[in-house]
Amino acid sequence: MYALVDCNNFYASCERAFNPNLRHKPVAILSNNDGCVISRSDEAKALGLPMGAPIFKWDGFCKLNGIKVLSSNYPLYGDMSHRVMTILEQYTPDVEVYSIDEAFLEFKGFKNHDFEDYGNQMRQRILKWTGIPTSVGIAPTKALSKVANKVARKFPEATRGVYVIDSEEKRIKALKWIKVEDVWGIGRGLQKRLKAKGCKKAYDFTQLPDHWVRKNFTITGWKLKKDLEGISKIKLDEVEAKRAIATTRSFEYTYSDIDNIKERISTFATSCAEKLRKQGSSCHMIYVTLQSDRHKKDLEQHRASRVVSLPYPTDSNLIISQQAVNAVKSIFKAGIKYKRAGVIVMGLVPTNNHQLQMFDTENPKHKPLMHAIDGLNSKYANNKVKLASQDLKRTWKMRQERLSPRYTTNINDIIVVK
Amino acid sequence: MILHKSNNLTFFTPNQINGLGAPFFDTGISAGFPSPAEDFKEQRLSLDKELIKNKEATFFARVSGQSMIGAGLDDKDLLVIDRSLEPSHNKIAVCFLDGEFTVKRLKVNKEGVWLQPENPHYPIIKITDDNDFVIWGIVTNVIKKV
C-alpha cells in the first residue's frame, strides 16, 4: 500500500501554528520580494483571491476582506517541513519527500493492517506535535493514493482527513468523482487530447484501450493508467514533482568517508540546479538526506536529513552545491556505512520574475557563469566543468515587509508567553 | 546516572548515547596495562540531549512578566516546550488564550479547567466556553541567565 500525506495550505498553516489568531481567518502568503500570492488559506480561496495575484493590484481587496497578507518565511517553512517528514519516518522506512509539504509513503509487508487507523494516527501526531493539519490518502498504488488524498482533502468532515481506497467499489467511486485534469501526472497537453476523446473523469481514462494509451501517451501514460486501475506500476522516486526537483540515488558502493559523500552530494546538487535552470525555476530550500544500507541489518543504521532555507531563491550550481555539502557534513556520522543520499530542491519560483531582477537578489555574476557552465557541459561530456569555490560574502537584500518572526530558527524570534 | 546529590545540586554523568555499540576509545588497543583514564572517557555532555526528548515536537519560548515567578519562571527566561506531551493536572503549559500566549499551571478537575499563576498578585483564570483557548504545549525545562 501507498500513502500520500499532504499538508493543508502548508505556508498558511505554519504561520497559524505560531500565531493562533490567524486560525479560521483568511491568510495569504506572498512570493519573494512580496510580489504575488503563492499560498492561500481555504478562507482566502473562498473569498476569491486568485493564486499568483500581484499584491500591488490586490492589496485593496485584501484589506477590504480582512485577508491577512504575509511575506514568505522560508526558514520557518523549511523547519516545519522537516519536522513533518521526520515524524512520517516513524511510520515506515520508505518515505519519499515529494515537495515541501507532501510525501509518499510505502508500506511493505503491512498485512491485514488497519490503514485508516494508521493514517489517523499519523495525522493526529503531526497535528499535535507541529500544529500542521494534513490530509492522508491511502491506496494500493501511488496514483490512487493521490486520488484518495484529494477525496480526504475535499471532504474533511466525512473523512476526518483520511481516506483509504481498499476496495474495487471505492476505487471506481473515486475515479468517477475526480476530473481527469486533476489526476496526478496528466499535463495540459494530455488533458486536451483526453477531453477530445470524451474523457471527463479519471474513470473514463481508465476505460481507454491499453494499446491506444501506450501509443498516444507513451509508457508514462500507460503506467499511470495501470496505477489508476490498482496495478502498481509507478514506484517511489519515479515521477518528478512539479513543485520540487529531486536527485536521490543509491551509491554504487557504501561510503563511510565524508569526502566520497561530499562528492556525491555535490553531483546530485549540480544535477538539481541544471534541471532548475532548464525549467526556468529557482529554489528557496534545499533538502538533503543521507541513509545507511537498510538491508544490512547487522550494521549500525543511520538516517538523517536537513533542510537549508536560502535568504533568496537561486538556480546557481555554486550556491546549491555548497549549501548541500554543508548540510550533509552536519548530518554525517563517522563509522556509518552510507548507501543512499538525495538532494531535493523545493520552494520553487520562476526565475524570470521581473522583481527578482529589479531588486537584484541573486549575485548577478552567477547568471552568465551558469550559462557558460551549461553551455560547456552540453558541448562536451556532461559535468566537464565543475565547481571549486564561490563567493557568498555578498549581502542580499530582499523586500519582506510583512515577514512573520523566525519562530523556530532564530532565538530572538521565538514566541513570547506572558 | 546520578553521581552525587547534595541539598541543592545534583551531579550527573551523561547517559550512553544509544544501545547500539560500546563507547568509542580512540587510543587503540595495546598489550599490557590499559590506561586508567580510559575508564572515564565518555562522550561530552549535550544540553540538547538533556533538554530535548522529542526534537520534532520541541519548541522554545521566552517568558514575559512574572506571573509564574513562584514556579521559577522569571521574566526573559527561556522555556523548552514539548508539544507531544499530554496536558494534565499540575503541569505547566503554554496556552493560547483570547489572542495571546500565556504560561500557567494547569488545574483540571471535574468542574473544569483553570490556569493557575504562581504569583499572589495574579488571579486564577477559569476557562469557559467563551474563551478562545488552546493548550499549545507542555513546559519541560526553564533556562535562565544568572
A96 occurs within a structural domain: no
The nearest CA of chain B is from the CA of A129 a distance in Å of 5
> Is residue A258 domain-resident?
yes
Q: What is the mean pLDDT of residues A390-399?
A: 44
**How big is the CA angle at A137 (ends A135 and A139), to the nearest 5 degrees?**
175
Give the pLDDT confidence score for residue A381 in this predicted structure: 52
Structural domain for B125, as ranges: 55-143
Query: Does residue A266 lie in a domain region?
Result: yes
CB distance from B69 to chain A under 8 Å?
Answer: no
Could you say which of B84, B104, B107, B126 is catalytic?
A: B104
| Interface ipTM | 0.79
Per-residue pLDDT at A406: 85
Work out the percent of chain B whose per-residue pLDDT is above 70: 71
Is A290 part of any domain?
yes
Chain segment A32-68, per-residue pLDDT in tens: 778 889 999 999 999 999 998 999 999 999 999 999 9
Residue B2, strand partner residues = B12
By three-state DSSP, how is residue B17 classified?
coil
For position B24, what pLDDT does the model report?
43
CB < 8 Å to B102, chain A: 417-418
Q: Do the domain assignments include residue B90?
A: yes
Tell me which residue in A131, A407, A418 faces B64 most closely, judged by beta carbons.
A418
The answer as to whether B21 is a domain residue is: no
pLDDT at position A300: 87
pLDDT of res. A169: 96
Q: Per-residue pLDDT tens for A225-253?
A: 999 999 988 876 666 666 788 888 888 88
Beta bridge partners of A37: A30
Whether B101 sits inside 8 A of A416 (CB atoms) is yes
Give per-residue pLDDT as tens, A271-307: 999 999 988 888 988 999 999 988 888 888 888 888 8
CATH number, domain of A329, equals 3.30.1490.100
Whether residue B38 is contained in a domain is answered as no
pLDDT band at A196 (very low <50, low <70, confident <90, very high): confident
A131 touches chain B (CB under 8 A): yes
Question: Where does residue A308 rank: exposed (0-12), middle (13-18), buried (19+ CB within 10 A)?
Answer: buried
Q: Does some domain include residue A327?
A: yes
- Does residue A105 lie within any of the structural domains? no
Residue A297 sits at the chain B interface (C-beta within 8 Å): no
- Indicate whether B4 belongs to any domain: no
Nearest chain A residue (CA) to B122 = A418
pLDDT of residue A337: 92
Is B24 part of any domain?
no
At A393 the pLDDT is 38
Q: Is residue B115 part of a domain?
A: yes
CB within 8 Å: B61 and A414: yes
Decide if B56 touches A, using CB distance below 8 A: yes
Q: Do B83 and A418 touch (CB under 8 A)?
A: no
Angstrom distance (rounded) from CA A153 to CA A173: 16
Domain assignment of residue A158, yes or no = no
The reply to whether B97 touches chain A by the CB within 8 Å rule is no
pLDDT of A325-384, one tens digit each? 999 999 999 989 999 999 999 888 888 653 444 334 455 566 666 666 666 666 655 555
Beta carbons of A129 and B64 less than 8 Å apart: no
Nearest to A20 among B62, B64, B96 (CB): B96
Q: Is the pLDDT at B105 greater than 80, yes or no? A: yes
Using the beta-carbon criterion (under 8 Å), do A128 and B101 form an inter-chain contact? no
Predicted confidence band at A19 (pLDDT cuts at 50, 70, 90)?
very high
Q: How many folded domains does chain B comprise?
A: 1
Distance from the B68 Cα atom to the nearest Cα atom in chain A, whole angstroms: 9
Can B104 be counted among the known catalytic residues? yes
B96 to chain A, any CB pair closer than 8 A? The answer is yes
- Between the ranges A187-196, B22-31, B59-68, where is the mean pLDDT highest? B59-68
Per-residue three-class SS string for chain A: CEEEEEECCHHHHHHHHHCHHHCCCCEEEECHHHCEEEEECHHHHHCCCCCCCEHHHHHHHHHHHCCEEECCCHHHHHHHHHHHHHHHCCCCCEEEEEECCEEEEECCCCCCCCHHHHHHHHHHHHHHHHCCCEEEEEECCHHHHHHHHHHHHHCHHHHCCEEECCCHHHHHHHHHHCEHHHCCCCCHHHHHHHHHCCCCEHHHHHCCCHHHHHHHHHHHHHHHHHHHHCCCCCCCCCCCCCCEEEEEEEEEEEECCHHHHHHHHHHHHHHHHHHHHHCCEEEEEEEEEEEECCCCCCCCCCEEEEEEEEEEEECCHHHHHHHHHHHHHHHCCCCCCEEEEEEEEECCEECCCHHHHHHCCCCCCHHHHHHHHHHHHHHCCCCCCCCCCCCCCCCCCCCCCCCCCCCCCCHHHCEEEC
Predicted local distance difference test score (pLDDT) of residue A253: 87
pLDDT at residue A129 is higher than 90? yes
| pLDDT higher than 60, residue B127 | yes
Tell me the average pLDDT across A147-168: 95
Looking at residue B126, which CATH number applies to its domain? 2.10.109.10
Q: Look-up: residue for cell 486533476?
A: A182
Whether B30 is a known active-site residue: answer no
Taking alpha carbons only, the member of A396, A397, A414 closest to residue A405 is A414
Is B9 contained in some domain? Answer: no
Q: Which of A213-227, A340-354, A379-393, B98-112 has the lowest mean pLDDT?
A: A379-393
Number of domains in chain A: 1
Interface of A with B in 61-90 (CB under 8 A): 83, 86-87
In a domain? residue A262: yes
| Closest residue in B to A412 (Cα–Cα) | B62
A20: chain B residues, CB-CB within 8 Å: 96, 132, 134, 136
Summarised one tens digit per residue, pLDDT across range B4-55 is: 555 555 555 444 443 344 444 444 445 555 555 555 555 678 888 899 999 9
For residue A89, give the chain B residue with the closest CA: B56
Q: How confident is the model at residue B1 (pLDDT cuts 50, 70, 90)?
A: very low
CB contact under 8 A, A87 and B56: yes
Smallest CA-to-CA distance from A348 within A95, A32, A102, A85 is with A32
